[in-house]
Amino acid sequence: MYAFVSGPLALIAFIVFVLGLGIQVFRFFGMTREKEPLNISFPKPRQKDVDALRPPEGVSKKVRLKGTVLGMEPFLAIVTTLFHLLLILTPILLLAHNLMIERAWGISPPSLTEGVTDVLTVAVMGFCLFFFLRRIVSARVRALSTAYDFLLLLLVFLPFLTGFIAYHQLFAYKTVILAHVLAGELMLICIPFTKLVHMIFFFLYRFLLPGEYSFASGSRVWR
Amino acid sequence: MAIAQARNVDPALIQRTLAQHKPQIRFTLAVCAHCSMCAHSCFLYESRREPKYMPSHKMIHSIGYLFRKKGNVGLQELHSIGNIVWNRCVLCMRCYCPLGVDIPYMIGLARRICREQGVYRLYDEG
User: What's at A120, amino acid-wise?
Assistant: L
Nearest to B44 by CA among B107, B87, B1, B98: B87
Determine the distance in angstroms separating the CA of B16 from the nearest CA of chain A, rounded to an integer: 16
Whether the per-residue pLDDT at B1 is higher than 70: the answer is no
pLDDT digits (tens, 9 = 90+) for B70-86: 999 999 999 999 999 99
**Residues A199-218 pLDDT 10s:** 998 888 888 877 667 777 77
pLDDT at residue A211, as a whole number: 67
Check: CB of residue B28 under 8 Å from CB of residue B81: no
Alpha helices in A69-113 (DSSP H): 69-72, 74-92, 95-105
Those residues of chain A that have pLDDT short of 70 are: 211-212
pLDDT of residue A55: 72
pLDDT of res. A54? 77
Concatenating the DSSP letter of every residue in B20-68 gives HTHHHHHHHHHH-----TTGGG-HHHHHH--GGGSHHHHHIIIIIHHHH
Task: Band the pLDDT of B36: cuts 50, 70, 90.
Answer: very high
- Mean per-residue pLDDT over chain A, rounded: 89
Q: Do A198 and B56 touch (CB under 8 A)?
A: no
- Please name every residue paired with A220 in a beta bridge, in sequence order, or none if there are none: A34
Reported ipTM: the value is 0.88
Q: Determine the number of helices (DSSP H) and then strands (DSSP E) in chain B.
A: 7, 0
pLDDT digit string, tens, across residues B57-68 = 999 999 999 999
N residues, chain A: 223
What residues of chain A lie within 8 A of the CB of B102, using their CB?
Answer: 205, 208, 222
Task: Note the pLDDT tens digit of each residue in B15-24.
Answer: 999 999 998 8
Q: Which of B34, B99, B105 sits opposite A149 (nearest CB)?
A: B34
For residue B13, report the phi and psi dihedrals to the nearest 5 degrees: -70, -40
Residue B37's Cβ-side half-sphere holds a number of Cα atoms within 13 Å equal to: 25
Answer for the pair A14, A188: CB distance below 8 angstroms, yes or no: yes
Residue of A nearest to B60 (CA): A144
Residue A115 pLDDT: 93
* Contact call for A205 and B100, based on CB within 8 A: yes
The nearest CA of chain B is from the CA of A101 a distance in Å of 32
